[in-house]
Amino acid sequence: MGLFRANPAAEMTRLRKKLAKAADPDSPESLAMRHRIGLLLVETGDWPAAEEHYTELADAQVRAEGDRHPGTLGAWLNLATAKAALGDVEDAVHLMASTVDIYEEAIGLDDPATMQAQLMLSEMYSLSGEYDEALDVLSRHLNACVDTFGEYHETTIAGARRKVNVLRVLGRFDEARSLNGGLNRKPRNDYERDSARAVDLLIRAETGDAKIVRHKAREFAEQYRTQEFVEVLAAVLLRAGEPAEATELYRAVLSGQSAAPQWVLAGELARAYLESGQLDAAETLARELVSADGLPDGHPLKLGFRATLARVARERGRDAEAERELEAVVAGLTEAFGPKHPDVVEVAGWLKKD
């Protein structure tokens, strides 16, 4: 007989009833139940309730265990996650960064909890558009992984892949290619080897070789049929001038995602809609992404969504509107990345087109 797992709502109700009967809400048993309730709120995406819950839980943890206890630190991490989900990214970054500092000092760089906290912080920095800071955290993370587990351990490889992604965002493709190549030296299996090869194809597509590598990207996608390889194929096809097929692939991938925002994939889909002539779909999706609260207004991804809207406006004959918006996007991306970044160059090229 299989194990029965209660649904989150039923489990929360049961835990809250039990907690209400507890003599001390700050006892170890009560705190454990409160942590479980918090995780269930995160699981169900009830972010307002999660923020309130973790604010109270963090205060209780400090009273009971102090501000350097793993339970306190975990509550602060989840509170930061809830704040970010509600659009308060700046406060979330500050809270998570200070929490990771305590993890590193009090728990130790080689502790798995610290390593997980570092990964969460790198994602938070990326969410706030602070990619250089994300890279610094990932560098510390990787150094600890190599010292603790070795260069080719799965934990080290996972962190290295995250660093490759950030390097790609920053347009540091040579560094990304070099680091990714290191992941391919001692693969544990064919999937791991080909996963690194697929990322190399993606980097080549992003640097102008999309048409050359699209056949190999398709071969991987057909061989493995996993989300990872399908995403690579979609990105390669979009850059190879085949947006119609890329659109269908992105739609398929997004249909299987969780309720959490998938900013990069959704932005790529909006662009694919545009470049395949589906202007209504492109405008609707890009406008939703621009108005969403999960990213700061100056985030490079949100600037990309605005660029798609501007290109739609141009296709509809609203040239003055398109020019103003593309100029603003170029200025924002230049501030974020510098004038030579590939995204800046690309949008500036759109601005110059008649």
Task: Dump pLDDT digits (tens) for 46-74.
Answer: 999 999 999 999 999 999 999 999 999 99
Q: Domain for residue 202, yes or no?
A: no
Q: Domain for residue 9, yes or no?
A: no
**26 with 54: CB under 8 angstroms?**
no
End-to-end CA distance of the chain: 68
Give the Cα separation of 241 and 11 in Å (integer). 50
E strand map for 186-277: none
Q: Domain for residue 164, yes or no?
A: no
What band does 182 get if pLDDT is binned at 50, 70 and 90? Answer: confident
CB atoms inside a 10 Å sphere around CB 259:
7
Task: Dump pLDDT digits (tens) for 186-217.
Answer: 778 899 899 999 999 999 999 999 999 999 99
What band does 232 get if pLDDT is binned at 50, 70 and 90? Answer: very high
DSSP class of residue 258 equals -
Q: Domain for residue 297, yes or no?
A: yes
Q: Domain for residue 95, yes or no?
A: yes
DSSP run (H or E) holding 94 = helix 89-102
Q: Domain for residue 247, yes or no?
A: yes
Q: Domain for residue 87, yes or no?
A: yes
CB-based contacts of 104-111 (< 8 A; 24+ apart in sequence) = 104/140, 106/68, 107/70, 107/73, 109/140, 109/143, 109/144, 109/147, 110/144, 110/147, 110/148
- Residue range of the domain that includes 331: 242-354
Residue 130, CA atoms < 13 Å, CB-side half-sphere? 17
Task: Dump pLDDT digits (tens) for 114-164.
Answer: 999 999 999 999 999 999 999 999 999 999 999 999 988 889 999 999 999
**94 with 55: CB under 8 angstroms?**
no
For residue 338, the domain's CATH number is 1.25.40.10
How many domains are contained in the chain?
2
The DSSP line for 147-192 is HHH-TTSHHHHHHHHHHHHHHHHTT-HHHHHHHHHHTTSS-SSHHH
Q: Domain for residue 159, yes or no?
A: no
Q: What percent of the chain has pLDDT over 70?
A: 97
Is residue 34 domain-shared with residue 143, that is, in the same domain? yes
Least confident of 91-105, 198-212, 251-265: 251-265
What phi, psi does 255 have (nearest 5°)?
A: -65, -20
Instruction: Answer yes or no: is pLDDT of 1 > 50.
Output: no
Is residue 145 domain-shared with residue 28, that is, in the same domain? yes
Is residue 255 domain-shared with residue 139, that is, in the same domain? no
E strand map for 263-330: none
Give the Cα separation of 143 and 248 in Å (integer). 40
Task: Dump pLDDT digits (tens) for 268-292.
Answer: 999 999 999 999 999 999 999 999 8
> For residue 258, what pLDDT is reported?
65
Q: Which residue would you say has higher pLDDT here, 283 or 261?
A: 283
Q: Which of 114, 149, 184 is at the close of a domain?
A: 149
